[in-house]
A and B are shown apart, each in its own frame.
Chain A
Amino acid sequence: MVSTGERLLTPDEVGPVVEQLTGVLRELDGVLLGQPGLHRMVLVGILSRGHILLEGMPGVGKTAMIRTLGQLLTLDFNRVQFTPDLMPSDIVGSPILEEQDGQRQMVFKPGPVFTNILLADEINRASPKTQSAMLEAMQERCVTTMGQTRTLPSPFFVLASQNPIELEGTYPLPEAQVDRFLFKLNVPRPSAETMERIIDGRRRGQEPTPEGLVDAAGLEQLFAVMDRVVMPPAVSRYVANLVAATHADDPRAPELIKKYVTHGASPRAAIGMAEAARAVALLNGRPTAGFEDVDAVAEPVLNHRMILNYQARFDGVTPGDVVATLVESIDAVDAGLPRDIQVEAGA
């Protein structure tokens, strides 16, 4: 059994947090119709202090959702439209020569990365050099120019979007950068009913402007509560087993992975999955993360971290299929029972 060394979160402590987060979700659902699951996972990503890669067709509301989230959280929000000629300095900033008090000196002009929420729109249109400029910012939350390292504001999130259908003139994100995104979320197109509500309620696509619900200080308090969410060792072991089994050479890996996966997920994925599972537990009003919380975040955490071979493309196997098979095949509680003894929930 778990002994955390400190007192567990009480219902009185968890209750207001859940209420606050539920309010944010409600506002998001009101602005961007028909995407409650996506909003929930984005909020989980924010609580986990992770970066999110949104992939979806143009016009499904990716930018609107991120902008609304920035407004709800009353955080600084910058948007960069990535283009092939975008330079690293256009993002991180650059020193310029300025005359001040009769003296000329190099003064650093911060780029758009110095914000709380950075929307990197169509990130795969920038050249790899420019994409790589964000590596340090995303992982270390600081940038280094002219030999000087500058810390980014806290909190700092990158919410990037990319268009999956246009391949011409795009540069696929390198694995190192993809791995820095906690989630890769697919933004589905809304249903016909949802589109009808959008048409009836919004002329010319104008969304309502939400009120800010959580400021930066409030968000830090949320993070502090998040830190106290407990993950039992059995759940940690399950997370570790899941991530280890994404590698084809792992004995626990299912046949689908051995056949189609060339590279599995990194330890960073395990860390991110554990954090995300804690966030899901907090959203559900619990002080502990359980197996089902891990299952809930396994797909968005792992789907962009596993590199499939060409055979998978030919056979139409998607990363989602692989993750679903993985979650189904790994025994969450490694009880060591014989295969022919099965345990079910009591009546």
Chain B
Amino acid sequence: MPAADPTQPTRSLDAQAWLDGVEPDGQSTISASRASLWQAIFIRMCIRTAVAYLLVWGVATLVGRVLLHGASASPSGWWAWGGLGLLGVLGWSAWYARWRVPSQTVIRAMLDQQQRLGGLMMLDRDVGVSAWSRGVANVEPLRVRWRGGASLASFAVALAFVLGAGLIPVAAGGADPTRLNLERTLETLSEQIAVLDEESVLDEAKADALRDETARVADEASADDPVRTWEALDHLAEQLRREAADAQEQAQRDITEAGAAGALAEAVQLADGQLSEAQLAGSMDALEQLIGEAMNGQVPPWVQDAMADAMDVGLDAETLEKLRDLMDGREAELVELMDALQGVGLGHGQFGEPVEFDPEALKDWLAEQGDGQCKGGLIAGVCKSGKCPRRGGIHRGPGHAELTWKDPANREEASFDPQVLPPSGWRDPSQSRQLGVSRTAPQVEATEGSTGGGLTHVTSEGGTASDVTILPKHRGAVQRYFERVGLDPDNGSR
């Protein structure tokens, strides 16, 4: 509050007289000022409480989503209950503002201070203040200002936090330290059991038993003993893998048998009366056997009737066509089964090379067989292998032999291991021996061999040139070099 100038009166006594109708004690001004203050305190408390509430709400949302709903979005009920809490915030703020708003006495003092009324606003009416009422005439209500930028920013952040906590997906897991996260594994196992059940790989009872076992493992799963749980799950998975492998192997065989049956039917159709009775009977036996194996014993009745008639009257072209269609359909079924197993992670690829059938060759082979050799089992075996055996001879050999690769050759005798050789030695100066000390250049006899120097008795065989400073003591060595044996003294060549 700025210091007042004592030389200046705050309100002149010579002001105009009291106007009729002006409220003597400024009650409406006080009420308006009080309302403004209540409003400011209410808004301030609303924002601040809402910030705290939103933070709590956001944290509760996060915890609730992790514990109750996993990564799924928050349900609308959660938002509704949270929104109801905001009504509580409003109620609390209204009560707080009512409790905190200054009393009328304080408001009077504030009006008096702000508008420099000299204490007149704080007087009671019964002390005769009406005589001074012109002093408090035209008093304006207080102007209240709330500087709530920081609070509003906090509110925006808290609101964004709540929205983020409710809408952004949260990875479930790890919420309960005593639980194991088995959802994905259990889901995979359930899918595999369902597929095996659908494809009749498992019978109903066994599928139910496996489902019960899976549920029991999930219920008993505990992070305190994860090994036990994972072992149980591995056991279940292994069991399913074995069942699937068996089914796939069987399907592969059935595909081969269905293909063989189809090829035999086509071969008989191609023969068109060229087969003898015995050959035809053997072929029918083989065909019946192959169909039975391909259909896993569930041969349709019309096939059985047709096969029974075939012994007497043979098979007409239409029946043979139907048999081929039946086998093609069976083959397609089995391929679908293999794909379904592959889809749930139970596929194991092909069991052996697929057999290629050649009905033309089979027809020729059938026609070549003697009556005594036309056994149903032999023909069925030849059909399933897809290869017709030959009688031998130069042009009827056993066919191409497959190339086989043995162990790689031993490298021990074919190459040498590199060896690290010691570095070439330079004569170590520290190992040199002192012959004597002289004031002048050493006198070296040309005929005598020097114990020093690297070129004694060395013949030049080329090599590289090098510049070396010749000291007086090396003079003898240099001299010997140019006088060595075999050197032509005239032209310096050998």
Contacts and interface: CB of A to CB of B under 8 A. Distances in A.
Contacts of A283: 9
B102 A44 contact: no
Given A1-B124, A11-B131, A230-B123, A346 B140 contact: yes
B485 interface: no
Contact of A40 (B6, B120, B122): B6
Contact of B122 (A1, A18, A36, A330): A1
Interface in B86-133: 100, 102, 105-106, 108-110, 112-120, 122-129, 131-132
Given A7-B128, A40-B6, A345 B143 contact: yes
Contact of A2 (B41, B122, B144): B122
Contacts of A4: 127
Contacts of A327: 1, 3
Given A1-B124, A343-B143, A286 B119 contact: yes
B5 interface: yes
Interface in A313-334: 324, 327-328, 330, 332-333
B102 A10 contact: no
B10 interface: yes
Contact of B7 (A36, A287, A289, A330): A36
B6 to A, nearest CB: 4
Instruction: Choose among A6, A293, A330 the residue with the greatest number of B CB atoms under 10 Å from its CB.
Output: A293
B145 A341 contact: yes
Contacts of B2: 295, 328
Interface string A1-43: 1111011101100110010000000000000000011001100
B147 interface: yes
B146 interface: yes
A32 to B, nearest CB: 15
A220 interface: no
A147 interface: no
B122 A293 contact: no
Contacts of B5: 37, 296
Interface in B385-406: none
A287 B115 CA distance: 17
B13 interface: yes
Nearest to A229: B119
B117 A333 contact: no
Contacts of B7: 36-37, 40
Given A285-B9, A328-B2, A290 B37 contact: no
B119 A340 contact: no
Contacts of B110: 333, 335, 343
A121 interface: no
Nearest to B104: A1
A231 interface: yes
B118 A333 contact: no
Contacts of A289: 118-119
A338 B44 contact: yes
A286 B1 contact: no
A345 B119 contact: no
B142 interface: yes
Interface in A277-318: 280-281, 283-293, 295-299
B242 interface: no
A342 B132 contact: no
A335 B106 contact: yes
Contacts of B112: 232, 234, 290-291
A338 B5 CA distance: 29
Contacts of A40: 6-7
Contact of B115 (A6, A36, A235, A346): A346
Given A10-B131, A285-B13, A328-B2, A342 B120 contact: no
Given A289-B118, A341-B41, A345-B115, A232 B109 contact: yes
A200 interface: no
Contact of A44 (B6, B44, B118, B129): B6
B119 A235 contact: yes
Given A284-B9, A284-B11, A340-B146, A11 B109 contact: no
A192 interface: no
B262 interface: no
B143 A296 contact: no
Interface in B9-38: 9-13, 37
A336 interface: yes
Instruction: Choose among A233, A284, A327 the residue with the greatest number of B CB atoms under 10 Å from its CB.
Output: A284
Contact of A340 (B109, B118, B122, B147): B147
Given A296-B3, A328-B1, A343-B142, A1 B108 contact: yes
Given A11-B13, A40-B6, A295-B3, A290 B142 contact: no
Nearest to B139: A346
B1 A332 contact: yes
Nearest to B25: A1
Instruction: Choose among A292, A336, A345 the residue with the greatest number of B CB atoms under 10 Å from its CB.
Output: A292
A287 to B, nearest CB: 7
Nearest to B103: A335
Interface in A216-270: 230-235
Contacts of B186: none
Contacts of B117: 290
B205 interface: no
B105 A1 contact: yes
A347 B106 contact: no
A337 interface: yes
Instruction: Choose among A296, A298, A341 the residue with the greatest number of B CB atoms under 10 Å from its CB.
Output: A341
Instruction: Choose among B112, B113, B151 the residue with the greatest number of A CB atoms under 10 Å from its CB.
Output: B113
B106 A232 contact: no
B184 to A, nearest CB: 53
A338 B128 contact: no
Contacts of A99: none
B6 A341 contact: no
Contact of B3 (A6, A44, A298): A298
A345 B114 contact: yes
Contacts of A10: 128, 131
B302 to A, nearest CB: 95
A336 B147 contact: no
A344 interface: yes
B274 to A, nearest CB: 110
Instruction: Choose among B10, B13, B126 the residue with the greatest number of A CB atoms under 10 Å from its CB.
Output: B10
B148 interface: yes
A48 to B, nearest CB: 13
Contact of A346 (B113, B129, B141): B141
27 contacts: A1-B125, A3-B124, A3-B127, A7-B128, A10-B128, A37-B6, A41-B6, A285-B9, A289-B119, A290-B118, A291-B1, A291-B119, A292-B113, A293-B118, A295-B2, A296-B3, A299-B3, A328-B1, A332-B1, A332-B113, A336-B100, A340-B147, A341-B144, A343-B143, A343-B144, A344-B143, A345-B140
Interface of B: 1-7, 9-13, 37, 40-41, 44, 100, 102, 105-106, 108-110, 112-120, 122-129, 131-132, 135, 139-148, 151
Given A3-B124, A235-B119, A335-B102, 7 more contacts: A11-B131, A230-B127, A285-B12, A297-B6, A341-B41, A343-B110, A346-B140
Interface of A: 1-4, 6-8, 10-11, 14-15, 18, 36-37, 40-41, 44, 230-235, 280-281, 283-293, 295-299, 324, 327-328, 330, 332-333, 335-338, 340-347
